[in-house]
Structure 1
Amino acid sequence: MSSVLIDVHAHLLPDFYVQEATAAGHAHPDGMGGWPSWSVRAHLELMDRHGIATAMLSMSSPGVHFGDDRAARLLTRRVNEFTSGLTREHPGRFGTFASLPLPDVDGALEEIAFAFDTLGADGVALLTHTHGVYLGDARLEPVFAELDRRRAVVFLHPTSPVGWERSALGRPRPMTEYIFDTARSVTDLLMRGVLTRHPNLRVIVPHCGGALPVLADRVDEFMRLLLPPQEQPLPGGVQQLRGLYYDTAGPAFPRQVPALLNLVEPDHVLFGSDYCWTLPALAEAHIAAIDAAESPVEGTTWRSLTTANAERLFPGRSR
C-alpha cells in the first residue's frame, strides 16, 4: 500500500498577491498577526520531509475579490496562471484548484472556461461566502450549473463570516469562526437544494467538516421542519452530507476524525496539511498524529487510505 500522501488542502502565497491584498486592507488577514512566509522551495522541502507526493494548491481567505470586479478578474487570472505554471515546472508535485472572482458571476464563468480548457485545472476553490453572498445564493446558480456540467471538483474554504466584528470577540477568525462559517455555507447549499440540482459536483469540505459532524442531525431535522414537503430534497440532509468529501486539515486527532467518521464512510476522507497557513511545526505535528492513528479500514494506514481516496477523485494524479 502507498506510504505517500496527496494533500488536497495546501495553499500558496505569491508575493504579488500578498502585496495586492495588503494594499486592499488585509495586512492582518482574518485577524491573524500577518501573512505567513511561503516559497516553492520551502513547500517542496516540507513535502519531501513528510512524504507528500502532490499538493493541490489553492488560495485561502481573503480570496481574490477586494471590492472591484475588474481588479478581481485581473488578480484571479494572474493567480491561476501562476499556479498553473508551478504544475508545469514541477510535474506531479502540484495540482491546481483555480480561484474565481466571485461574486462577479460573469467573471467567474469566464474564468471557469479558461481554468479548465486552457490551464487544465484540477478543480476550483470557493470561499464560504464573498462579500456576504453565500454559496446557496440564487445569483450563483449559473456558476454551479457550469461546474456541474464539467463534473468539477469544488474545494470549499472558510473565510471571516458576515458580522465577524462582533462574533469573533477580538480573536483570530480561523480559530472558531472558520469552523462555523463552513457549517453555515454547506447548510445553505443543502437548504437551497444546490447539491441535489447539481449531482455531478464533487465537493471537498475542509477541516473535517468543521461543525457539521455534530450538527448534521440537527440540520436534517430543521430541513424537514422548515421546507414545504414538495421542496424537501431527496436524498435528505444527512445523506447529502455523506456524499461530500472531507479533508483532515488542522488538529484532526484525537477528536475531530472520530466525530467525522460517525457521519461519513472512510472512503470520503482526504488528507490536508493546510500549509502554509498552518505553520511547519504544527503541520508536522498534525501529520505525526495521522501517522500514529489507527486506520478505520483493515489493511490500510491513514496514508494509504486517504491517498487511494484522492486518486479516485483525481485519476490524473494517480502515480
Structure 2
Amino acid sequence: MSTDLQAPGHIADRTGASDDARNERIDVHHHYTAPEWVRWAEENGVAGRDSLPPWTRWDEAAALDLMDRTGTRTSVLTVAMLGRFKEAAARKESTRVSLDAAGALVARHPGRFAFFTPLFLDDAELSRWSVSHGMDQLGAVGVSARTSTGDTYLGDPALDPVMAELDERAAVISTHPMQVNTTGAPAGVPPFVCDFLMDTTRAALSLIMNGTLDRFPRLTFILPHGGGYLPYIAGRIEVFGRQLVPAVDPGRVRDYLHRFYYDTAAPMSPSATPTLLAAAGSSRILYGSDWPPTPTRVVTEVTTPALDADPALGAQERGHINRGNALRLLPALAPA
C-alpha cells in the first residue's frame, strides 16, 4: 500500500477544491457480494457459486489492490444479493448475512470501505428493517435501491411511506438498474449497454413526474452511469414537459436535474463529459468505478485514466469529482 493512501490527511484542502485528488478518490459505485453471503446461499440452496455471475466472486485482496492502483482511498459498497426467495424470513436472513459481512469488512479496514444498506421496492417491511439494522447498528452511510423492480419505479407513490422515513433521515439513496425489461432489444446487445441507461432515465423521470423530489426535499439520489440519458435529453424534457402525464413544469427541469448526483462509471469521455457538466455542473458528479462488473483491466486502463485525462476537466473539477463532492454528500467518510 502506498504512503499516500496511508495518510488520508495529506491533501491540504480535503474538499479536493485545490487538488485533483487522484490519490484520494472516493468510489461511490463498488458492487459487493459478500463471500459470507455466497457460502450462506450455497448452504441454504438459494444459489450456487457456479451459477452466479462472475462479478459476484468479490475478493477482499483484489478489491484493495484495485483501490491502491487507482488511488482510491475509500470505496462505498452497494450490497448485492441475487437469490430468489419465497419466504420473508429467508429474505431477511439473506439481508442480515450480507449487511453483517459489510459491517465486519468496514471494521477490518477503517477508512477504506463504507457501505449503503439495501432498500427493497417490493417489500416495505424488509426495507425498514434493513435501514434500521444497516444504518443505526452497523453505520451504513446511506441506502441503495434498484431503479425499478418489475413495473415499480423509484418514484411510484406506493413507496411514499418508506421515502418519508428516509426523508426524516435526510438519506442519500444510491440507485442502480438490475433485471430490467429488455423487450424489443436487438439480439446480442447486453442490457448494460443500453437498457440499464434507459431504466435509470425512467427512474429519474418517475421521481420528477410523480413529485417525489418535491414531497421529500431532504432526499438525495445518486444516478449511476452519468445519469443514463437524462442529461442528454434535459432540453427535450423542457420542451415537452407539459405533455407528460403528470406534466412537468419546463422552468423547473434544471432545478430537478440538480437534485441528483451522477457517477462517472462509463460515461466520462471527450464527447459525453461536456453534456454532463452542462446539465449538472462539476459539483454534482462523483467518481464511480462500477467494479467488479466492470473488470479490473477496464477500470485501471480505460475508465479511470480517461477521467484523469479528460480535456473538459481541470484540476479543480477533478478534485470535486474524485473526492470533494463525496465528502460534502457523505461527511461520515471524512478522515478523523
Say yes or no: TM over 0.5. yes
Map 1:135-154 → 2, pairs under 5 A: 135-154=154-173
Which residue of the partner structure matches residue 124 of structure 2? 105
SS class of match (2:116): strand
Task: Supply the AA of the counterpart residue of 1:125.
Answer: S
Asked whether 1:290 is paired with 2:307, we answer: yes
Contact preservation (8 Å) 2:35, 2:59: no
> What are the within-5 Å matches in structure 2 for residues 44-55 of structure 1?
44-55=64-75
Corresponding residue for 1:307?
Answer: 323
User: What percent identity do the matched residue pairs reach?
Assistant: 34
The residue that corresponds to 2:283 in the other structure is: 267
Structure 1, residues 5-29: CA drift from partner, whole Å, max 9, x if none?
0001111122354464994599777
Rate the CA distance shift 1:287–1:114 in 2: closer, same or farther, 3 A: same
Query: Could you tell me which residue of structure 2 aligns to residue 240 of structure 1?
Result: 256
**Partner SS state of residue 316, structure 2:** coil
- Taking structure 1 as the reference length, the TM-score comes to 0.88
Q: Give the Cα separation in 2 of the matches to 1:191 and 1:202.
A: 16
Q: Is the 8 A contact 2:274 2:312 kept in 1?
A: no
The code of the aligned residue for 2:31 comes to: H
Shift of 1:295: 5.7
* Larger deviation, residues 131-140 vs 309-318: 131-140
> Which residue in the other structure is 1:178 paired with?
196
Alignment of 1:61-72 (within 5 A): 66=85, 68-72=87-91
| Structure 1: distance between partners of 2:334 and 2:55 | 33
* Whole-Å separation in 2 of the counterparts to 1:309 and 1:266: 9
Instruction: Select which of 185, 195, 199 maps to 2:213.
Output: 195
Please tell me whether the aligned partners of residues 33 and 98 of structure 2 are also in contact (alpha carbons under 8 angstroms): no
C-alpha separation in 2, matches of 1:15 and 1:233: 47
Paired amino acid for 2:143: V
One-letter amino acid matched to 1:59:
V
How far apart in 2 are the matches of 1:270 and 1:289? 15
Unaligned runs of 5+ in 2: 1-18
Question: What's the counterpart of residue 150 of structure 2?
Answer: 131
CA–CA distance in 2 between the matches of 1:57 and 1:35? 14
Matches of 1:96 and 1:141, distance apart in 2? 24
State the match for 1:116 in structure 2.
135
Find the aligned partners of 1:272 and 1:134 in 2 and give their Cα distance.
23
Paired residues of 2:170 and 2:218 also in contact (CA < 8 A): yes
Distance (whole Å) between structure 2 residues aligned to residue 72 and residue 263 of structure 1: 39
Q: Tell me the C-alpha RMSD between the 2 structures.
A: 2.6
In 2, distance between residues paired with 1:91 and 1:308? 19
Aligned partner of residue 173 in structure 1, secondary structure: coil
Mapped contact 1:95–1:121 kept (Cα < 8 A) = yes
Match for 2:230 among 196, 212, 223?
A: 212
Moved over 6 A (4+): 25-29
1:9 and 2:29 correspond = yes
Ranked by relative contact order (alpha carbons within 8 Å, sequence separation 6 or more), the top structure is 2
Counterpart contact for 1:64–1:76, Cα < 8 Å: no
* Counterpart secondary structure, 2:57: coil
Q: Which moved more, 1:62-71 or 1:256-265?
A: 62-71
Number of aligned residue pairs: give it: 311
Aligned partners of 1:212, 1:253: CA distance in 2, in Å?
16
Residue identity opposite 2:214 in structure 1: T
